[in-house]
Chains A and B, each alone.
Chain A
Amino acid sequence: MTNDSSTFACGDLEQVLPAAWKGELGRQELDALEQHLASCGQCRALATGLEDAWMSVGLDDVMGPGADLRARVMRAADLAFHDRAGVTPAAAAAASPRHAAPSSSWWKLAAAAAAFVVVGVGIGRAWPDTQLQQEVSFLRDELRSVRHVMTLSLIQQASATERLQAVATAALIDRPDAQVRDALLEALAGDGNVNVRLAAIDALRGLAGDPRVSAQLIASARDRNSPMVQVAVIDALVERRDRSAAPALRAIADDSEAATAVRERARWAIGQLQASAI
């Protein structure tokens, strides 16, 4: 390679050329580059070829996102601003389902189920009649089983939106059975969608004191693949006052490969658990 310019070596090209493309070079640096390219055929050929590739990357503005995105984000924001602790993405996602198309029978079922509860509870309060209360209680049991079935069938779905709906439904079940619990634990452990995992954490709230839930939460707290899930799990462990999590939390706080926010959260959680132990 020729290199007759004392201020520029061929090896400088990889640092200087991208800056030249973006107009980030000063006059002197630009002169040095140009001088070098005028005298060095190899760098000139390379620079020409690369500039061609660089310029060919289309700058065409991709069409903007759909109009409903803003509404979805603002609904999520609304929740966050009313929740001092910060929004839970699961709640945000549940508040703004992407594909809220009523074509899914889930929505009809859920609407019917919600009406069930409202009407049932309303009647129960207005007429404290034993028979009526028995009926209301029967309806509630029915509702529970409807929710169980919905959860178990939807959680198998390929679409993340449907799995999210399944998990959100499970969160409405006051006493999830073992099958639903296991489905939620599986979703928490390895669902491909972070929102589904976060929703599963919320749905597992109803299972305080269940050792399997604790074990999975602790395992997920150590899963570095998603700092967001880690933080949410740590929060859940604090909420459960799960002191068995303390060693895992200490390990996370000391894990140099964990995200900084996660380590800080783990440190905070240890403090919280210690405070609640007093």
Chain B
Amino acid sequence: MFAPRDPALEDVRPDEALMRAVQGGDSRAFEGIYDRYHRPLFSFFVRLTGDRPGSEDLVQDVFVRVLRYRASYDPGRPFKAWIYQLARNAASDRRQSRAAHHGADALPDDVRDPGPTPLARVVGDERRALVERGLGALPDEAREAIVLSRVEGLSHREVGRILGCTEAAARVRVFRAVQQLRSAVERLQRPRG
């Protein structure tokens, strides 16, 4: 007896095969990609911007881009790097268009609150809270390197693909970003005088 085709079985296909199916118009495959990536992308944007509703919009934006640019995806290349590149573009489009819209003087809406983030408040751990604030104070590229490597748990090889550099260069970027983070935390610890 043949068992009915179990839709859950489709989930074992690698990302690249799912995306190839999406290119062929398979909406189930698109759902599979959504299920795999919406949470990591959401956490990537939340940690990057500190803005939850804005991060939902960015996640939606990424999946719209996946569909819009589906023909340009090369299934011979790692899908994860491709979708994170779309995610970076989405975040940078938003930053740039906000800056353009509000003028150079105005702070972008998504500038991080210098106070404890909601996440840090929930965590309640003073050290963690401090590090969260330090992370928020870093330049975007440094924060991005740490979020991709540490929070998203991507290998440095993957981080390199996403940032468009070698694995070795990705490691160096992470190292320097962590150095910046450490200095930022030290500055925050210093009593204001």
Contacts and interface: CB of A to CB of B under 8 A. Distances in A.
Interface of A: 13-19, 22, 24, 49-50, 52-54, 56-62, 64-66, 69-70, 72-74, 76-78, 80-81, 86-89, 92-93, 96, 98, 190-195, 197, 225-228, 231, 261, 264
A66 B39 CA distance: 11
Interface string B18-46: 00000001010011001000110011001
Nearest to A54: B178
Given A61-B43, A69-B56, A89-B65, 13 more contacts: A18-B172, A49-B182, A50-B175, A52-B182, A57-B135, A58-B132, A65-B42, A66-B56, A69-B60, A98-B56, A194-B93, A226-B97, A227-B89
- Interface of A, secondary structure class, is helix
B101 A190 contact: yes
A192 B47 contact: no
Interface in B123-140: 123, 127-128, 130-132, 134-135
Interface of B: 25, 27, 30-31, 34, 38-39, 42-43, 46-47, 52-53, 55-57, 59-61, 63-65, 67-72, 89, 93-94, 96-98, 100-102, 109, 119-120, 122-123, 127-128, 130-132, 134-135, 146, 149-151, 155-156, 168, 171-172, 174-176, 178-179, 181-182, 185
Closest 7 pairs (CB-CB, A-B): A192-B101, A80-B67, A14-B175, A53-B182, A56-B131, A18-B174, A225-B96
Contacts of B61: 89, 194-195
A126 to B, nearest CB: 38
A14 B67 contact: no
Contact of B68 (A60, A72, A80): A80
A208 to B, nearest CB: 24
12 contacts: A14-B172, A24-B155, A53-B134, A56-B130, A56-B131, A65-B56, A65-B59, A96-B60, A191-B97, A192-B98, A225-B93, A228-B68
A21 B64 CA distance: 35
Contact of B97 (A22, A62, A86, A197): A197
Contacts of B63: 73, 76-77
Contacts of A24: 155-156
A72 B42 CA distance: 14
